[in-house]
Every structure is written in C-alpha cells, then in structure tokens.
Chain A
C-alpha cells in the first residue's frame, strides 16, 4: 500500500524567512496531494492541494511543488509570520479510494 514520509519532524525558522517541508510517497498511482495545517489545540484544515497533472500551485505566501518522477512533493512558505507556527501534514490519495495516507507531520516554529 501507499506510504508517505515527511521531513523534517521539526523546523525552526526566523520570522520573515522561508520554510520548506518535504514529503515522499511510494505508490505511483497516487494523484492527489493535500497539505493540512493544525494549530495548537485545533483541528487540521486544508491549506493547499495539488493534483498529479500540475507541477506547481501557489496561493499567496504558500506554494506546493510536485515531482512525479521522483515521487516527492514539497510545501513552501515564504515571508513566514508568527501565525504560521503549527503542525503541517502532507497526505496522498488516489482515485480508487477516498482515503488519505498521511505523513507524520512537521512542527513549524517561527522565531521572532
């Protein structure tokens, strides 16, 4: 079955700098890759997603890139702000089922 690995487990960056979180997946049939953000004590919420027919997608300060050949995708956050502090989860899914296979999460710390 599908397996998703996420790195790093913790990332600390200076406010205003960029942050990059990387995920790899194992099943080439996966074609949908969302990113969820979970603030402390809150529920996970979708922040951006990408499908396999697209290589990059941007939404203001966040972007996701996908390399199908290498089977990895990344979340990029530019000009980080204190409110970006959270745990970020990547996931992968395919058309044959509605299940998301989740990464282990990355705790992003924004230092003032």
Chain B
C-alpha cells in the first residue's frame, strides 16, 4: 500500500486565491482527518469524516475553510479566499475505526500564502 497520499506537497499562492488540498486515504480505512500544524498552535484537528460523513468540523477556523469527501478514496480541503495566516503544513490522516485507532498520516502539504 502506498500509504496516505496528499497533493500538492508544496503550494505557494497569493492572498485572496483559492487553494485546494487533496487527500487519498489508505484503501479500506473508514475515517479521515484533516489537521493543520504551525509552530504557534501546534497540531490542530480541523475536521474528520467517518464513512465519508463529516462528524466534527468544530476545528474549521472559519467559513473560508470547507472540506468534502465525495467517496471513500478522496477528500479535499478548500480555502477560499486564502490569507497569509493560513500558511501552515496541512496533514491528512486516515484510520480504521474500531478497536484500533491508529491514524496514518500523509506527508503533508506545506502551504505558503503571500
């Protein structure tokens, strides 16, 4: 298995532009998590899905952020419009709910908004 796949790995964009981050979870996993990591705020859970359904989006910072999971093998996190304070590393992680809660992280997308 290739593990969790994220694209792009790096994104540099100008303030006001739309940014779309993509994630392909590990096949067979039924939970998917989007995290944001910065030096100041650490690792923050933005939203998580179970069986493609959003369960908790209380970590989404504001309406500029949205996430979708149209099927079990794909999810997107969109920021529109982007702002410099959105600069961070965004991780997607997947897991198999049940007895084992291990979350497998993707390599992350480093987003820079200028």
**B95: chain A residues within 8 A (beta carbon):** 98
Given the contacts A98-B31, A98-B97, A99-B45, A46 and B102 also touching, CB distance less than 8 Å: yes
Q: Give CA–CA (A44, B92) in the complex, Å.
A: 11
Task: Check if B61 is an interface residue, CB within 8 A of chain A.
Answer: no
**83-98 of chain A: CB within 8 A of chain B:** 89, 93, 97-98
How many whole Å from A98's CB to the nearest CB in chain B? 5
Task: Check if A25 is an interface residue, CB within 8 A of chain B.
Answer: no
Q: Is the CB of A43 within 8 A of B106?
A: yes
Q: How many residues of B contact A (CB 8 A)?
A: 19
Q: Is the CB of A100 within 8 A of B105?
A: no
How many whole Å from B104's CB to the nearest CB in chain A? 8
Q: Is the CB of B108 within 8 A of A100?
A: no
**32-90 of chain B: CB within 8 A of chain A:** 33, 42-43, 45, 48, 50, 55-56
Given the contacts A89-B43, A98-B97, A43 and B48 also touching, CB distance less than 8 Å: no
Q: Give CA–CA (A49, B108) in the complex, Å.
A: 23
Chosen A-B contacts, 26 in total, with CB atoms closer than 8 Å, are A32-B101, A34-B101, A34-B102, A43-B105, A43-B106, A43-B107, A44-B43, A44-B105, A45-B105, A46-B102, A46-B103, A97-B55, A98-B50, A98-B55, A98-B101, A99-B33, A99-B45, A99-B56, A100-B45, A100-B101, A102-B42, A102-B43, A102-B45, A104-B42, A105-B42, A105-B43
Residues of chain A whose beta carbon lies under 8 Å from any beta carbon of chain B: 32, 34, 43-46, 49, 89, 93, 97-100, 102, 104-105
Give 3 closest A-B pairs by Cβ, nearest first: A43-B105, A98-B97, A98-B31
